[in-house]
Amino acid sequence: MTRYVYDYTEGGDAGRELLGGKGAGLAEMTALGVPVPGGFVVSTQACVEYMRAGREPDGLAEQVDKAIGRLEEATGKRFGDPHDPLLVSVRSGAAISMPGMMDTILNLGLSDVAVDGLAESTGNPRFAYDAYRRLVQMYGDVVSGVSGQRFEDELERMKAERGAAQDVDLTADDLRELVERFKAIYREGAGEDFPQDARDQLGRAIRAVFDSWDVPRAQVYRRAHGIPDDLGTAVNVVQMVFGNKGDTSGTGVCFTRDPSTGEPGIWGEFLVNAQGEDVVAGIRTPEPLDRMKDALPQAYEQLVETLRSLEAHYREMQDIEFTVEDGRLYILQTRTGKRTAVAALRIVVDMVGDGLISREEAIARIEAGQLDQLLHPMIDPRVEYEPAAKGLNASPGAAKGAIVLDADTAEERGRAGEDVILVRRETTPDDIHGLIQARGVLTAHGGMTSHAAVVARGMGKPCVAGCEGLSIDLGARTVTIGGRELAEGDRITIDGGSGHVILEDVELVPPQINEHFETILGWADEVRRLRVRANADTPEDAAKAREFGAEGIGLCRTEHMFMAEDRLPVVRAMILASNEEERRQALDRILPFQQSDFEGIFEAMAGLPVTIRLLDPPLHEFLPPLEEADSPKMAARIRQLQEANPMLGTRGCRLGLMFPEIYEMQVRAIIRAALAVEERTGDAPLIEIMHPLVGFAEELRRLRGLTLDTASAELEQASREIDYLVGTMIELPRACLRSDEIAEHADFFSFGTNDLTQTTLGFSRDDAENGFLVQYLEEDVLPENPFQTLDRSGVGDLMKIAIERARAVKPDLKLGICGEHGGDPRSVAFCHDLGLAYVSCSPYRVPLARLAAAQAALSEAGVTAVAVGG
């Protein structure tokens, strides 16, 4: 006779495939000596045979009967007993967890007779009738096909009749009557009376679980996830225990460590003589776990002991639900406990210290994305607030201060020491001096790549952009946010992590790079293969990047140097020049600015590589809006530079080829700065000169020539030598496809995944993130924002092609990535898989990237953070 039924006390070896995930977990805990409620599992094989034959396999009924007998013996209760009945829960449990299938029937075993026994044994008739009406409802719904809604409607009707606001306002008598009404509904819907025989209830519940394996939703899910149709599900039958049987009973939840701080020691809540539902329904407020120590010292001691062994077994902080029935402890559930980022760090460091896990496991367990919150000021998580409006979460961190409506005011009041938030329709290069002095920026218009967003991210300042609920009346010096009018000077808080705007002063907490974080990053650095650089455009950014552990600069955008307030007039003169000579004159005046910025950056990055991208954006970005043109000549030039799709227009190396004198000036400034720094400090930076937006090898061939010629002339004049590399950004699909030809003229490639995503997907980021992409994400057309997490199968596939083809002609080509994806943990893992040499990201995300890089290396070596716990 085939064996279909396994007690948890004996099923340990039968395995997940036969017992399902839930059953195997319960068997494992039982084997550990954890006091779990008794029960047994009907194997997946029974389900498979049931489906095949269309009926219960021979012998199953007998085996279930025997298992019930053993359970009665172990609990000292009897199924259907009129005094203290054995009740059970019935749950499905496939080998692979799967939504759509029947979930749970509780309180199975109750009947018109047994319910009074339960009322008696708990001394709580209200509870007993509530348990019974729940059974009728669940059973009716999932076993007999009576719509759950009909029961819900009846409950609402009863509450209305009794003037009861909530379920808990119904009395025991009310509930007794409700049971009768529910049974009537059941009778009408199922065409039979509610079954009174516990064994009969159980058999039909088990078959209902089997049947639910083949409901359409489950079939669809299996098809979508490639789960074979013939696995079948197991059925778990588990003793119900009750914490509301008097003062030697109770219920609680606890963690093996403090989930807020990570501090070792049990942390939890407890209620004497109560069921979990009481807590959920808000009838009673739980007390600290110490209360249990006093009330039930023996059970408490057993709990402490069990917690210790559970954590030792699962090697993870556990989150446990338990019940004490008549002084006897039952662990109902254990799982890996959720925790704050701070706690997560402390816990793994402590566990390594205790020898519980290895350093590698510690690294693998940290969720890199979660750490972002530690690297910026944030709103105190204990504070409750109501956001007045929501915009794009354009640059993380929170800031608060007085509203100011223009950059000059921001600069003035900011310099005077006041916290100010710059609030604008959108920002332009003219606003830079105000941005520098503001705590954060809020704009009504513009997306994740708007001027405000890019500059704020670069500065590590919070920014909420494209906030539709914001309008500004510059005449009246007022703003309206989410319908409420405020005056300049009124205080607000913005949260660039959530996009929230709050019309009050909310408590913030500072960034928290603590010792545990440092410890783990140190371990990570020993493990990772990917180097981590930062995107930094100023000496200040470069210093901040070093502080966070950056190993060089992967992207230094020279255009930001053009935008500083004192330079913009000269840059504009250069753009307005009518001929090359005038342009060269203006460029000669810009050169010293660029050189001095480069010197500052090179000093901060002594001995490390610095990748400098030559001028990239279209020239019109340096000019004001047409209506602010200060001369007819400027207006004409603005009109002339207007483009239908500037993202795909005259920018990048196209500019360099049209106006070679611009790139010449930049190369000259780079070389002179390097020579100056070397002379001053004795340390030569490792310069990498990068040409943006190359799509054709011929572009780079010419620009490489220009770069070498210009640099050689400078070095010759100085009679000095200096090493430098010349390379390109790979940010166009064509560049990926023809990377072989381009590689011939490049010492390095850096993938510009922002633009590569825009062109590969045909998504203008500004337009998409303010428009259709929002809907795409809401409606699951796309699983995630491709500008945040790299689109592996599209953009990533192009990168693979690019690497393969480039390496075929130049095996030792230096490869990196400098898009914002460089700071996204999953994208970092992909870069590791691709075999890149480095990622580069904003300074504030460098620690995350270091950790993510280590996790990728560990994952490759087979070390991953497996989901553990019951």
Which residues sit at the interface with a copy of itself, rule CB under 8 A?
447, 643-650, 654, 657-658, 693, 695-696, 698-699, 702, 731-734, 737-738, 741, 755, 758-764, 766-768, 771-772, 775-776, 779, 781-782, 791, 793-795, 797-798
Task: Name the residue type at position 48.
Answer: V
Residue 425 C-beta: closest distance to a copy of itself, Å: 12
Handedness of CA 402, 405, 407, 409 (dihedral sign): negative
| Phi, psi angles (nearest 5°) of residue 582 | -60, -40
Q: What are the distances in angstroms from CA 299 to CA 34, 74, 324, 348, 870? A: 13, 19, 7, 29, 21
Contact predicate 580/661, CB 8 Å = yes
What minimum distance in Å lies between the beta carbon of 497 and a copy of itself? 25
Question: Least CB distance from residue 793 to a copy of itself, whole Å?
Answer: 6
The residue among 149 and 793 lying less far from a copy of itself, judged by its C-beta, is: 793
590-600 burial, b for 16+ CB within 10 Å, e for fewer?
bbebbbbbbbb
| Paired tokens of 72 | 């009665």
The count of C-alpha atoms lying within 13 angstroms of the C-alpha of 633, restricted to the half-sphere facing its C-beta, is 7
Nearer to a copy of itself (CB atom), residue 595 or residue 764 = 764
Nearer to a copy of itself, 748 or 763 (CB): 763
Residue closer to a copy of itself by CB (options 178, 756) is: 756
CB 444 within 8 Å of CB 470 = yes
Cβ of residue 742: shortest distance to a copy of itself, in angstroms?
A: 11
Q: Where are the beta strands (DSSP E) in 478-565?
A: 478-481, 484-487, 491-495, 500-502, 508-509, 531-535, 553-557
Are residues 684 and 723 in contact, defined by beta-carbon separation less than 8 angstroms? yes
3-state secondary structure 268-313: EEEEECCCHHHHHCCCCCCEECHHHHHHCHHHHHHHHHHHHHHHHH
* Half-sphere exposure at residue 414, Cβ-oriented, CA atoms within 13 angstroms: 23
The residue among 327, 266, 272, 265 whose CA lies nearest residue 298 is 327
Q: What's the closest the beta carbon of residue 762 comes to a copy of itself, in angstroms?
A: 4
CA–CA dist 819, 489 (Å, integer): 37
The smaller minimum CB distance to a copy of itself, of residues 294 and 778, is found at 778
Instruction: Quote the least distance from Cβ 804 to a copy of itself, whole Å.
Output: 12
State in angstroms the smallest separation of the CB of 406 from a copy of itself: 22
Task: Give whichever of 89 and 750 is closer to a copy of itself, judged by the CB atom.
Answer: 750
Among 438, 468, 459, which residue's Cα sits nearest to residue 395? 459
C-alpha span between 721 and 714 (Å, rounded): 10
- The pair of structure tokens assigned to 288 is 């600290």
The C-alpha angle 552, 555, 556, rounded to 5 degrees, equals 95
Residue 728's beta-bridge partner residues? 691, 749
Task: Please state, in angstroms and as integers, the Cα–Cα distance from residue 446 to each residue in 296, 390, 463, 500, 616, following that order.
Answer: 61, 14, 11, 16, 20
DSSP-assigned letters across all residues of 460-495: T--EEE--TTEEEETTTTEEEETTEEEETT-EEEEE
Q: 617: which residues sit within 8 A by CB, 6+ positions away?
A: 559, 651
Question: Do 799 and 751 touch, CB atoms closer than 8 A?
Answer: yes
Least Å distance, CB 656 to a copy of itself, is 11
Q: Is the dihedral of CA 330, 331, 333, 339 positive or negative?
A: positive
Q: Tell the smallest beta-carbon distance from residue 567 to a copy of itself (Å).
A: 25
Instruction: Measure CA 490 to chain center.
Output: 33
For the four alpha carbons of 500, 501, 503 and 506, in that order, the dihedral sign comes to: positive
Neighbours of 412 (CB within 10 A): 16
- In the bound state with a copy of itself, the residue whose beta carbon lies nearer, of 239 and 757, is 757
> Shortest gap between Cβ of 296 and a copy of itself (angstroms)?
54
Which of 730/849 has CB closer to a copy of itself? 730
Residue with Cβ nearer a copy of itself (59 or 733): 733
Active site residue 451: yes
Candidate list 445, 451, 745, 821, residue with the active-site label? 451
Residue with tokens 């109501």: 386
- Write down the least CB distance from residue 866 to a copy of itself, Å: 30
540-553 CB burial, b ≥16 within 10 A, e <16:
bbbbbbbebbbbbb
Identified catalytic residue from 736, 818, 831, 841: 818
> Distance (Å, rounded) from C-alpha 653 to C-alpha 219?
53
Nearest approach, Cβ of 248 to a copy of itself (angstroms)?
Answer: 56
Q: Which is nearer to a copy of itself, 223 or 338 (CB)?
A: 223
Provide the token pair at 70. Answer: 């053993």
Considering the complex, what minimum distance in angstroms separates the CB of residue 696 from a copy of itself? 7
Q: Which residues are designated catalytic?
A: 451, 818
